[in-house]
Amino acid sequence: MLTYISRRLMMLAIVVLGVTIMTFVLMNVAPGDPAEMVAMARYGLENLTVEQVENIRISEGLDAPVWIQYMHWLAHALKGDLGRSLVTGDPVMQEIMVRAPATLILALASLVVSLLIAIPAGIISAARQNTMLDYLARTGALLGASMPNFWLALLLILLFSVTLGWLPVFGYGEFRHIILPAVTLGTGLAAITTRLTRSSMLEVLEQNYIITARAKGLQEGNIIFHHAFKNAFIPVITIIGLQLGHLLEGTVIVESIFAWPGLGKLLVDSIYARDYAVIQACVLLFAVLFVVINLLVDILYVYIDPRIRYEKKG
């Protein structure tokens, strides 16, 4: 198991290297002069002078060729120094440490919402195949999957904040603030998980060992929740792991809408300002999280599916 994990972590290094090179190249291909954008963000459009722009270009090393800039960044990053924000001048690490918990909380809350909806809906949908309940769950899943996050977010704000006045439009810090963003992200995820849980359950319920379980005289509830679900859950876990990765991505939009002070909003803001150091750090963190989550899922398999072992015993 340990060799397996260390091998996977080595692959993480390769992924991270690739992702950061890609980001660096893409940032430099994007239109707009970064020195000018940063100067605008620092001094404001009105008092902007040519000297200021050129000073920034030289002081931040933006005049060097792209690959030199990258090597420079990499050398520092390897020492654990992700640089300073071009706009605020604060250390990037500090900024990220402040923002990361907000994003993680939102991602986990969304995941919980999605599982609370998807697992029961998927199981019921399969156990009562082709009944009203099944059609209802499937229609709901179709809606959830086809509705874009930003639109659903606006609809929810319109209903629960503007019309009913039950929940705040945006904010951070209290439980009621997380409800709308978590529901927005969670319902979208739930759609996919519901479909997968349903089809996975249907497949498992046709297996011979389910007939064996029935032949023993076990009650239907025991069969569905114990014998069938334990098997059906294996592919669902895979999807949940992938979704957690995509959640980080999804938060970019939803955090912007709900002014949620997380990494997603930080990333969007720094892209507007061409704050290279912050963009690079955010992307780096997302890449690491994505790979680590997938690794955790793979490790989790061992505990869920006894047939999976990553190395031979003894």
Partner 1 sequence: MALLSIRNLTTVFNCQEGMVKACNNVSLDINQGQTLGLIGETGCGKSVLGLSILKLLPVNAVSSGQIIYNNQDLLALSVKEMCQVRGSEIGFLPQSPATALNPVLRIGEQLTEGLQLHQGMVKEKARVIAMDMLKSLGLKDCDKRAADYPHQLSGGMKQRVVAAMSITGQPSLLIADEPTKGLDAVNRAQVIDLLRQLTIKTKASLLLITHDLKVAVALCDEIAVMYSGEIVEKGSADQVLNNPLHPYTQGLVASLPERGLFPIPGYSPSLLDDIPGCRFYSRCPIRNENCKHQPVINREVNGVHVRCLYVDQSGGTQQRIYGRGFQSEAV
In terms of CB distance, is 36 or 203 closer to partner 1? 203
Tell me the number of residues near partner 1 by CB under 8 A: 22
Binding mask 219-248 for partner 1 (x = CB under 8 A): xx-----xx--xx--x--------------
Region of 89 on the Ramachandran plot (φ > 0 left; ψ -120 to 50 alpha; else beta): left
Choosing from 307, 311, 312, 313, the residue that interacts with partner 1 (CB under 8 A) is 307
Distance between CA atoms of 25 and 292, rounded to whole angstroms? Answer: 24
C-alpha to C-alpha distance for 261 and 283, rounded to whole angstroms: 17
DSSP string across 148-197: -HHHHHHHHIIIIIIIS--S-SS-SSSHHHHHHHHHHHHHHHHHHHHHHH
Distance set, CA 253 to CA 31, 223, 248, 257, 280 (Å): 22, 41, 10, 6, 18
Tracing tokens 């120094």 back to the chain, one arrives at: 81
The least CB distance from residue 302 to partner 1, in Å, is 12
Q: Token digits for 78?
A: 């390897």
Nearer to partner 1, 145 or 304 (CB): 304
Q: Looking at 208, 311, 313, 314, which residue binds partner 1 (CB under 8 A)? A: 208
Site string for partner 1, 155-194 (x = CB under 8 A): ----------------------------------------
Please identify which residue in 44, 164, 215, 311 interacts with partner 1, judged by CB under 8 A: 215
Residue 227: CB atoms within 10 Å: 20
**Which one of 7, 72, 176, 216 is in contact with partner 1 (CB under 8 A)?**
216
Instruction: Give the residue, chosen from 49, 59, 94, 212, that forms a contact with partner 1 under the rule CB under 8 A.
Output: 212
Q: Is residue 217 at the binding interface for partner 1, with CB under 8 A as the rule?
A: yes
- CB under 8 Å to 213, separation ≥6 — which residues? 222, 223, 227
Q: How many CB atoms lie within 10 A of CB 130?
A: 9
Q: In angstroms, rounded to a whole number, what is the distance separating the alpha carbons of residues 192 and 136?
A: 15
Q: Which is nearer to partner 1, 3 or 208 (CB)?
A: 208
Closer residue to partner 1, CB minimum distance, 205 or 279: 205
Decide if residue 218 touches partner 1 (CB under 8 A). Answer: yes
Contact residues for 235 (Cβ-Cβ < 8 A; gap 6+): 196, 200
Our CB check for partner 1 shows the closer of 146 and 219 to be: 219
When asked if residue 211 is in the footprint of partner 1 (CB under 8 A), the reply is yes
- Stretch of 3-11, 209-217, 246-254, 282-290 lying at the interface with partner 1 (CB under 8 A): 209-217
Binding-site ranges for partner 1 (CB under 8 A): 207-209, 211-220, 226-227, 230-231, 234, 304-307
